[in-house]
Amino acid sequence: MQPGRTQAEALFQERMARIKKAVALERPDRVPVVLEYAGFAARVTGTPMPEFLLDLGRSVEVMIQAYRKVTEGLEADGVNYGRFSPFALSYLWLSKVKLPGLHLPQTASYQVVEQELMSREDYDRILQEGWPRFLEAFMRERVLEDVDPRFLPGNQRPVDVVGKWAALGVPVLRSYTVAPPFEFLSGARSLECFFMDLLEIPQKVEQVMEAMMGHMTELPCRQSLKEGYPAIWVGGWRGAPSLLSPQMWERFVWRYFRKLVQHVIEAGLIPLLHLDGCWDRELTRFRELPKAKLIMALDGHTDIFRAKELLGDHLCLMGDVPASMLAFDSPETVYSYCSRLVREVGPEGFILHSGCDIPENAKPENVRAMLAASVVPGTKSYGI
């Protein structure tokens, strides 16, 4: 340890260096492992779900408690995000969220409501008013109008998320998200209505997407840099190729997605491509993105082993322990699958990670088995 550095500072630098080596397609001393969870933290610590979800500061505390619990005697190199508010989903998909203790039973999970909040006429309104003005009014009048202002993160006491985790020696990769216009519009219109728009008024949708693009990256990138996050999510959820024809995907998703990735890199951040759903058909297109500058995070629906074959010399892969495996399989099964990932997708250009979030109902011993496969290869000691 260098003179003047605390143990936490040394750990932080060591772990961040391991992650950055993976991004750069270099071989670290071992495959890094990063945790991503929200509701799981409340479950594993016995915290009431409303308490966790409605207070941003409390969410950080509970997530740290969960980290300590599942990593005891093992190690994780970071967390994907270090705080959580369900209203972040409202801003991503411009949709209402139902919450336990308010709209649902105390022990239920939060739920995004799929409904048509935006009309076809609103496309013209966006073009006339501009995206920022439309978005502000839309969120205030149609999405958050019935939410107690006390529960919105912007009205709560600021939390130094990066600092609190760094005190433990744990890097937090990101907090903010950028996404193509496709994601916002498909949430506001509802997926079924939006797909009809793509078929019936494609030129109008395209016009609106072009008008939105100038406002997708500046604020989240600026905040990420200000708060000390090294990465930012570039999201792909409803825009997965499995939901669209090749022509529609190219026209309404990829052309914008590619531009967002480039903007994030130019801002000095690592694009963390959070790709839910199946992206198998278009994997080779990711060779169009800059080499050794980003992370492709897969959720178990895309074939990560094929992605390694096609992209392993071009970008860092992250994933992809399925939620169902973490929730329902045995620690031995999890350990075996993670060991295969370490061998065949690693050791360079790979970060071991769950497929999307660790689910709320994951077995703690299964999460520990995932950690053990990277941190202490060959061990079978992952009880909790």
Percentage with pLDDT > 70 across the chain: 97
Residues 6+ positions from 112 with CB-CB distance below 8 Å: 89, 90, 93, 95, 96, 97, 187
Query: In this predicted model, what pLDDT tens digit does every residue of 2-57 receive, in sequence order?
Result: 545 799 999 999 999 999 999 999 999 999 999 999 999 999 999 999 999 999 99
- Select from 258, 215, 238, 296 the least CA-distant residue to 23: 296
Give 203: exposed, middle or buried? Use CB within 10 Å, 0-12, 13-18, 19+. Answer: exposed
Decide: pTM greater than 0.75.
Answer: yes
What is the torsional sign of CA 316, 322, 325, 328?
A: positive
Task: Please state, rounded to an integer, the average pLDDT across all residues of the chain.
Answer: 95
Cis peptide before 313 (omega within 30 of 0): no
Contact between residue 359 and residue 43 where contact means Cβ atoms under 8 Å apart: no
- Select from 247, 244, 223, 243 the least CA-distant residue to 233: 223
What the block records as the tokens of 237 is: 């959820």
- pLDDT at site 4: 57
Query: In this predicted model, what pLDDT tens digit does every residue of 205-221 receive, in sequence order?
Result: 999 999 999 999 999 99
Instruction: Report domain extents, the chain.
Output: 1-83+161-171+322-384
pLDDT > 70? residue 382:
no
- Overall average pLDDT of the 306-328 stretch: 98
Query: In this predicted model, what pLDDT tens digit does every residue of 49-102 receive, in sequence order?
Result: 999 999 999 999 999 999 999 999 999 999 999 999 999 999 999 999 999 999
What is the torsional sign of CA 74, 80, 82, 87?
A: negative
